[in-house]
Structure 1
Amino acid sequence: MAAAQMNIRMDSALKASGNAVIAELGYTPSQVVRALWEFATVQGTLPPALTHLLRGDQAAGATDGDTPGRMSEGAAIVSTFYQEVGIEEPVDGAVDYDELRELAAAEQLEKWGLA
């Protein structure tokens, strides 16, 4: 594996305190940076906690799931999955657990030829 070196600029006190915490956790700075790069490569994004730090979104209780953009992105992913698999998207209106169980039972009985 060919290695590459990265140089970054940061406050020396931040470097010293960060190195101390990282060492206390049992890692080296190189391991932490390598893990971040691997995460970004595999996931195609940054860890949510890091994204919040970079954006300055440190409000208490704020999570990616709380944002309307993330929710609509999730809905789009589900919709795309339905289309790719050939599943008809459910119509508006929530189905409660009992109704869902009855629908599943009826579908299974129909598959078995007992409906």
Structure 2
Amino acid sequence: MATTQMNVRIDADVKRRGDAALARAGFTPTQAVRRVWEHVAALADSPEEVVRLLGEPDEVDSRERLLLRESADALGLVDALVAERGPLSAEGLDYDELRYRAWKERLTERGCA
């Protein structure tokens, strides 16, 4: 199983209290994060369930989430087009590069890049 490292910033007091609560329950912070990610990954097709689980995001996070969802939708359209019409090529660029450029353009239009 391939793994990756995550680095997050969290209020020091929240971390201290959270670590203590997890220790009392018999979990390490790593175990807790893994379980949260596994649970959220299982809810990938139900974002409303993720919101129910984690609570309402603040306004900035909500805007960013909407932009990312729109970007993912746009990339899905590219994937559908390729599935229907075959691989794209332009200026000697491969499909992955074109897909990345479309994603980057969409984020730039939305002021996120």
TM-score, normalisation: structure 1: 0.42
Of the two, which has the highest radius of gyration? 1
Instruction: Return the structure number with greater helix share.
Output: 2
TM-score, normalisation: structure 2: 0.42
